[in-house]
Structure 1
Amino acid sequence: MGALPATDTPNAYVVTASIKRAVLDTIVARQAHGVHFTGAAGDAVLSAPSAYLSDLLRDRQYRSAYQHAHAHARLRNTSAAVLLRRAWPASRTGLCAAWRQLAADLRRQPRTWVPQAERPTAWTPLLATADWMSADVRGRLAKALEAAADEAGDTSTHLAPWADRQDLARVGAGTTGLRELARASHGVDIAAPFLDNEVIRACLAVPADQRGAPGRYKPLLGEAFSGTGVVPDFVLSRVTKGGFNALSYGGLIRYAPVLRDLLGPSSRLAAAGLVTEAPITGMLRRAAAGQPTAQGALHLAVATEVWMRQMAAAPAWWEVSPRVAAA
């Protein structure tokens, strides 16, 4: 942890620091200093999550909803009916009503874990981390959600624009942490063109059902760069993207004892009631057996635990610069 720079919030790149360092090592080997261009936020602005199906249903565009669901289902080896059933609840409610329902759910017993992709589409999905919290913390989160709903009013009526904003905020915060890691360990600057304000405005001006059209992979990228020579043809012709699932499972299996200790009874998260031991142990046991696992939730928990330990070892404070805040 001492080799990682402290950031102002928990950062997801802490968990994948070794992978990022391998990339940065390659950059430095080719040139002592420089700028590394990252594709962070490319998924958020060049495509769209299938959550836009809820908006098509909300707007009673049933024919388009079925056509898109059918195409997405072929890619996911499922059925259009399954995807439309997942999309339907979010099409019948707004953001604030969804938050109030989440508050009610948090006051009940934690759910039995199923993969997030099998749960209904939601305005604010509850990850497995919500089910790992103590009853007291779940109650406090429920009150916070109700207060936020009372304050916000029903300002958001369509799911896709809301989801786009949340994805960009999350990716932007993560990229800030990656920038700190790259500067501290390698003296390399990180540039994220897809987080440029003008790029975001131009891409999000295209409706989600066109950006997320399942028949073409990131159609905006092809329309913008086909024939220019700026982006290699093999990138433009891709129909999917690589993943790190095998690597992630290998790490979970190899370091399960370390993770059990990190997130166990002596962890900062446990002391705050943000995790409890039994579900963490059960999830790591699933990973060791090669079963489906809440990888995203474990990722966030590890990143937050490391961050809390950093703060305890080297307390820091932050001041908001009016100039930076305005930017």
Structure 2
Amino acid sequence: MGPAERRAARGTPVPGIGADLSGGPASGALALLAAGLPGMPGTVLGHGTGAGERLLAVTFNDLAGGSGGARDDDEMSRAGALAANPRLHHVVVTGAESTLPYVDLDGPLTDEPGPSLVSAARHRARLAAGSADHFTGYGAKQVLDAHPARLADLLMDRKRRHLVRPVAALAKADGSVMVPARVYAAARRLARTPYRAGLESLAERLLRRRLDDDGPGGAADASLAALTWGRPGPAARWLTGEALAEVSVRLQASTRRSEVGPGQRPGDFRARAALARHAADLRVLEQAAEIRSQRLHAPFLDNQVVRACRALPEALRVQPGARASILRSVLE
């Protein structure tokens, strides 16, 4: 067991700079960029062997979750290939029963609840194997990828040809020839629906408890469900009819005093809301999975990075593989 593994066993981060390495394009790009920082960013001089030479890259291998699948295998393979870089020291944290979702809900108190509370144990296990300054790709999807509602924005700009590749990718993933027509119709309907009418429709949906009409859950169904001004969240299924009615009334009242103008674009609106929710959950994650003497960095949620990504053309961001392509250009 090396110094990094011994410190992880004690729950103490290694001095220096580290990064997550899940095998996805975001974490891989961050790890390579951090490994190329001047001054050789690994552990600080005087701490352990090879000090100041390599960046500590941490991969969480969730064997206990039983998720598996070709995608997970591919990401693990990519993580291993990237870790072969001589500037990286690779540590694999294997998930056990103690890191399963919902296994540890009596952790530190947070300012508010959030999705990361469910998986706080696995976050702590991964971060405990990291460095004092640890980079994570948290937020890359929300910042770089286009929200499915952006398809409606493209229709509003009369850029129909840019819908061809993303819709074809959805059809291939779903295996149905009906997907292109369904997605185009939903995007067209959203492009023609004003903000106020969209939220009034959502309020009516909550009032009538129509919460489970999003399809079986494939990629196409998820995109179709997202092609609206708003939709019920997962917590709506836990609420009583009386609570849903109260939410519906408040939602209708909010549309009357809303400052959203007639020129508001649905894709831009939904993307901003998704990013805001994800950024807020990062604070919950930091509190729930806090490791003493460790600073967690999420560069993709930095204001300058967010502004730079918002300047990217929508027609580029909706294309399949856009995130990997953009990050590849950054590395080059």
Show the 5 A alignment for 1:1-327. Answer: 3-27=106-130, 34-78=132-176, 79-113=179-213, 114=215, 115=217, 117=222, 119=225, 121-155=227-261, 157-183=264-290, 185-214=291-320, 216-226=322-332
Q: Output the amino acid matched with 1:157.
A: Q
Q: Distance in 1 between matches of 2:145 and 2:105?
A: 37
Q: Distance in 2 between matches of 1:81 and 1:52?
A: 17
Q: CA deviation at 1:197?
A: 0.5
TM-score (norm 2): 0.60
Q: Output the amino acid matched with 1:4.
A: G
Q: Distance in 1 between matches of 2:157 and 2:326?
A: 24
Instruction: Judge conservation of contact 2:165–2:319 (CA < 8 Å) in 1.
Output: no
RMSD: 2.4
Q: Output the amino acid matched with 1:190.
A: L
- Where does the alignment leave 5 or more consecutive residues of structure 1 unmatched? 227-327
Q: CA deviation at 1:120?
A: 6.0
Pair 131,23 (structure 1): closer, same or farther in 2 beyond 3 Å = closer
Q: CA deviation at 1:128?
A: 4.4
Q: CA deviation at 1:140?
A: 1.0
Pair 110,223 (structure 1): closer, same or farther in 2 beyond 3 Å = same
Q: CA deviation at 1:153?
A: 4.0
Q: CA deviation at 1:23?
A: 0.4
Q: Output the amino acid matched with 1:25.
A: A
- Where does the alignment leave 5 or more consecutive residues of structure 2 unmatched? 1-103
Radius of gyration: which is bigger? Answer: 2
Pair 70,2 (structure 1): closer, same or farther in 2 beyond 3 Å = closer
Q: Distance in 1 between matches of 2:147 and 2:324?
A: 12
SS at match of 1:220: helix
If asked which structure has higher relative contact order (CA below 8 Å, sep 6+), I would say 1
Q: Distance in 2 between matches of 1:109 and 1:216?
A: 36
Deviation above 6 Å: which 4+ runs of structure 1?
none
TM-score (norm 1): 0.61
Q: Which has the higher strand share?
A: 2
Q: Output the amino acid matched with 2:147.
A: P
Q: Between the two proteins, what is the percent identity of the paired residues?
A: 29
Q: Distance in 1 between matches of 2:225 and 2:155?
A: 18
Q: Which moved more, 1:80-89 or 1:139-148?
A: 80-89
Q: Distance in 2 between matches of 1:14 and 1:177?
A: 7
Instruction: Judge conservation of contact 1:203–1:220 (CA < 8 Å) in 2.
Output: no
Q: Distance in 2 between matches of 1:196 and 1:178?
A: 16
Q: Which has the higher helix share?
A: 1
Q: Distance in 1 between matches of 2:140 and 2:302?
A: 11
Q: CA deviation at 1:202?
A: 0.5
Give per-residue Cα distances to partners, 1:208-249, cap 9 Å, x unaligned.
2212312544332122112xxxxxxxxxxxxxxxxxxxxxxx
SS at match of 1:88: helix
SS at match of 1:125: coil
